[in-house]
Structure 1
Amino acid sequence: MKIAFFSFSSLPSQRANSVFVMKMCQGFSKLGHETVLFVPRSNNAVPHDKIFDFYDVEHRFKIIQVPKPKFFGSGITYGLLCALKAKKMSVDLAYSRHLLSGFFSVKLGIPTILESHAPFKQNGYIYDMLFGYLLKAKELKGVAVITESLKKHYVQQYPLLKRKIFVVPDAADVPEGKARTQSLHGENDRFCVGYAGSLFKGKGIEVIIPLARLCQWATFHIVGGTQEQIDELKRQQDAPENVYFYGFREPWSINGYLRSFDVLLLPNQEVVNAGNQIDIGKWTSPMKLFEYMAAERPIIASDLPVIKEVLQHEKNALLCGPRDIACWVETLERLRDSPALGTLLSETALEDLKRNYTWKARARKILGYYSNQVS
């Protein structure tokens, strides 16, 4: 089968969504399907080989860069161009992380699956109207969402969607070959606590800094964020000396950092701002959750409904109230004093990932759903 994957993410990029689209295309291609990824054309052209290396992805699929005009409504033009190119290539299925590309592929008669990580309605009335129109189209074969909470929300808002919506959480690759580690700042003989991800409000930095002040016996390592964000955090929160910032690191290196830590933190808050002033806290399935599982290190995470769709307290992770700093301190001390518990939790998490949450398994579930829809 020939699959067109529509994305509005530039490549390469520091955004997690760019990792998502590259890994998904690899997943489809590993199942033997000819996959073509459509992305906006960048002013800073990067050879495709370097893009694949940047994301630690096998060169199994084709990348087509599509012009994105620099004017209001450019997403409409971009979406139309993507759909026209896919139609010309006679693709069998369009898989879209971009609503407008998916809209035009449906209009052109291409069987299409949309993927949503937050309600389209949050992007404005036009997006909500287009999505409502698509639900009635026979060419729309399904809507993939990343959490049960998001599925429930959509079904309440759009009863017509009940038969077309399905849940596929995010995923991660299981590292192959010899495990890589990265050198860390500070005193490496101290207990090393790690976080990898963005520094947007609600992602958990507001927990990590006070936690570090109370746990001077550990070092805290924060991988991610722009230099501007890091400088602002240092000014606003007066980060203690046992906190080390690494800034953005290329995706291929992240597993090595995660494996260098003794414990991994996932302190998401109830409200999460992903940088566009839109709250995704109720819907998000953080990709780093699955990357943590792949690193085979014990995880302490926030006790939130979306997190508990994947993590179970005392089984594959330890959970704390998002703002209960005392609980985070006690749980860190518990893992420090009980390495055997950490090993048990991390081994269980890795097995859960291998069984349910690899990119290849995710792609297989999506295409299995599609096969059932068209059979």
Structure 2
Amino acid sequence: MRIAYLHAGSIPSVYANGIHVMRMCDAFTAAGHDVTLYTLPGTHRADDPYTYYGVRHRFRIRRIPLPDADPASLRARAARVRALLVAETPDLAYGRDPYAVLAAADVAPVVYESHHVWDDRDALATESRLFAHPALRRVVVITHALAGDLQTAHAGTGLLPLRVAPDCADVPAAHGASPAPELPGRTGVPRVGYVGHLYEGRGIDLILELAAVLPGFDFHLVGGTPGDRAHWEAPCRLPNVHFHGHRPPGAVHAYVSAFDVVLAPYQQRVYTAGRSAETGRWASPMKVFEYMAHGRAMIASDLPVLREVLHDRVNCLLRPPDDTRAWADAVNELVTDGTLRRQLGRQARSEVLDRYTWRRRADDVLAGVFTGWGEAPPTAGRTPTPKPKPTASEAG
């Protein structure tokens, strides 16, 4: 099946949405589909976006720029995407860009994926029009909490064709072996790790408090833009805290493997870049699944949305997001109790292999999309159209 993936963000970038999109396009390609990603031009320099993201397949990438961020420009870009789709005739348009997915609905059946409820009235109105369009086959959301809130936000549209599909991870071997990083710090000291952005609500202040009360452990924070890193690192005087800054998504696996205990200290309110959205109520953090895929013992915030996947003393330890003492006790317990640490890690990895791989997600979000519409999935009896190799302008 020819799939057009419609992305409103940039590739490559330092943002998590780019990782998610590239992983999904990789998984769709692994499933045998012919994938073209329509995206904004990159905001981060990378010679090869496929290597940067650590994906295995070189699906085609088309970059369609956006003049500015006002709604008229979003619709103008969507119209340009639609014109390309008319010429390239995909069997399905899939994406997280409501403007482009709505424009594509006049060209092909569409599947829309949502990771939050918009607080922008124009985007909400665009979603409502999309949800009423006869070409819409499915709305994919990452948590049950989001499914309920999205249905409420669009109650006037009727019952949405929702499918809950949490974020995922691949086992490290899927991306090949990465060289072990040379980590600063003391020899023989337990390493407590965090991987992800340093935005507000990610619990970075809690990690620094832990480092202060646990001077016998080294704490490593991997990720963050230069500005966000400077915000936390400049005033930090703790010798057992090490900031590593942004690393290519394809190279992060090696860092996670180097940690004894990993942290996911999300707070009640979690913000994206520049406080552009608050997503704590609906989050399905990729970081959590990546920790699990590595078989690392994890301590995570005890939040309702995380309990959709995480279970205390089964695949992690859950602790209140604002209780530093409880987190310190949990770190001590995992470091001193090797049996528990290994047990939690094994169970977490097993769950990823069974339920939360990108390949499984790709199959799940497409399963039955064409059923009941008087047509079969456009796969059998079709010879795939040869796809040219990405040019430098398309892939670089």
Normalised by the shorter chain, which TM-score bucket?
over 0.9
How many angstroms does 1:99 deviate by? Answer: 1.0
Q: How does 1:70-89 map to 2 (within 5 A)?
A: 70=68, 72=70, 73-89=72-88
Q: Distance in 2 between matches of 1:274 and 1:373?
A: 38
Q: 1:250 to 1:32 in 2, by over 3 A?
A: same
C-alpha spacing 1:373/1:189, structure 2 compared with 1 (3 Å): farther
State the match for 1:19 in structure 2: 19
Q: Report the alpha carbon displacement of residue 87 of structure 1 after superposing the two structures with TM.
A: 2.3
Per the alignment, residue 172 of structure 2 pairs with 175
Q: Give the Cα separation in 2 of the matches to 1:183 and 1:45.
A: 24
List alignment gaps of at least 5 residues for structure 1.
Answer: none
Moved more, 132-141 or 68-77: 68-77
Distance 1:117 1:306 in 2: 13
Aligned pairs, how many?
369
Q: Secondary structure at the match of 2:11?
A: coil
Q: What CA deviation, in whole Å up to 9, does each residue of 1:167-224 have, x standing for no partner?
A: 1111111122657532211113101000000000001102101011000110000001
Task: Select the residue among 125, 128, 139 that pairs with 1:132.
Answer: 128
1:321 counterpart residue number: 320
Alignment of structure 1 residues 1-375 onto 2, 5 Å: 1-42=1-42, 50-70=48-68, 72=70, 73-106=72-105, 108-120=106-118, 122=119, 124-159=120-155, 160=157, 162-176=159-173, 180-235=179-234, 238-277=236-275, 278-372=277-371, 374=373
- Report SS of the residue matched to 1:10: strand
- SS where residue 305 of structure 2 aligns? helix
> Partner of 1:94: helix, strand, or coil?
strand
Once residues 100 and 163 of structure 1 are traced to their aligned partners in structure 2, the CA distance between those partners, rounded to angstroms, is 18
Code of the residue aligned with 2:218 in structure 1: it is: T
* Cα pair 1:212 1:242 within 8 Å, conserved: yes
Percentage of identical aligned residues: 33
Root mean square deviation, CA, Å: 1.8
How far the C-alpha of 1:369 sits from its partner, in A, is 4.1
2: CA distance, partners of 1:275 / 1:12: 16
Question: With structure 1 as the length reference, what TM-score do the two structures score?
Answer: 0.94
Q: Is the Cα contact below 8 Å between 1:154 and 1:161 reproduced in 2?
A: no
* CA–CA separation in structure 1 for the residues paired with 2:312 and 2:223: 26
Secondary structure, counterpart of 2:61 in structure 1: strand
Contact 1:269/1:323 (8 A) holds in 2: yes
Tell whether the 8 Å contact from 1:272 to 1:279 is kept in structure 2 after alignment.
yes
**TM norm structure 2:** 0.89
Q: Answer yes or no: is the 8 Å Cα contact 2:13–2:43 preserved in 1.
A: no
Structure with the larger helix share:
1
CA distance in 1, matches of 2:270, 2:168: 20
Alpha carbons of structure 1 residues 365 and 272: separation in structure 2 relative to 1, 3 Å: same
4+ residue runs of structure 1 moved beyond 6 angstroms?
none
Q: Distance in 2 between matches of 1:156 and 1:76?
A: 25
User: Is contact 2:10-2:40 (8 Å) kept?
Assistant: yes
Gaps of 5+ in 2: 375-396
